[in-house]
Amino acid sequence: MMSKNHRRTTGLSLIGATMVLALVGAASPALADKQRAQYDYAKVISVEPVRRIVTVRTPVRECWDEVERYAVQRSAPGTGVSTLLGAVVGGVVGHQFGSGRGNDAATVAGTLIGAAVGNSSAQRRYGYETVEHSRPVRRCETRTQERREERIDGYKVLYKYRGQTYATQMPYDPGRELRVRVDVRPAH
């Protein structure tokens, strides 16, 4: 009499063996196909390229030089003298006020106020002078250039094997002969 453990082990062994046989059985037609397959050469009758037109876009950087003009406003001649004279007069007037440290602060304030008043007076009197300048500037732009190209996607091949004509499409030109697989199977 068999123990439970022995029956369980035998049951698992049978399942494993069945799976192995199923896998071998499934693989055997493929294996048999490989064993039955033979190869031979067929004569190529014609090869015609399969063409298509594509648009190729290429970025092209174009650069050129330009002259850039700009204007600078500056004080007219004579405004510097007026500003300096106003600062001196304002400093003297400011020095008349205060005593000690207050005197120093009043002198500085008077100098600044006098310079501003002198400059403002000179601007009203003489105006501003505008000076035109120019400088070279390099400008660049990237544009897309398009061109159409013909590309070969493959080859239509007509070949003859044992009196029969066949057609196929291939990624390359096979030349004068084409290796073919000959599969002989019994008719069912």
Q: What predicted TM-score, i.e. pTM, was given to this entire model?
A: 0.39
Q: For residue 91, what are the domain limits?
A: 60-143
Q: 10-31: per-residue pLDDT in tens?
A: 444 545 444 444 444 555 555 5
The pLDDT averaged over each successive group of 10 residues in the chain (188 residues) is: 49 48 50 68 96 94 92 70 68 69 72 75 70 90 94 95 94 94 80
For residue 52, is it within any domain? no
Q: 130-150: per-residue pLDDT in tens?
A: 788 889 999 999 999 999 999
For residue 127, is it within any domain? yes
Q: Is 30 exposed, middle or buried (0-12, 13-18, 19+ CB in 10 A)?
A: exposed
- Total tally of structural domains belonging to the chain: 1
For residue 139, is it within any domain? yes
Quick count: other Cβ atoms within 10 Å of Cβ 111? 20
Query: What pLDDT, on the 0 to 100 scale, is given for residue 17?
Result: 46
Query: What pLDDT, on the 0 to 100 scale, is given for residue 116?
Result: 78
Q: Alpha-carbon dihedral of residues 5, 11, 13, 18, nearest 10 degrees? A: -170
Query: What pLDDT, on the 0 to 100 scale, is given for residue 6?
Result: 47
For residue 156, is it within any domain? no
Query: What pLDDT, on the 0 to 100 scale, is given for residue 108?
Result: 74
For residue 94, is it within any domain? yes
For residue 124, is it within any domain? yes
For residue 120, is it within any domain? yes
Would you report the helix, strand and coil content of the chain in percent, each value rounded to 5?
40, 45, 15
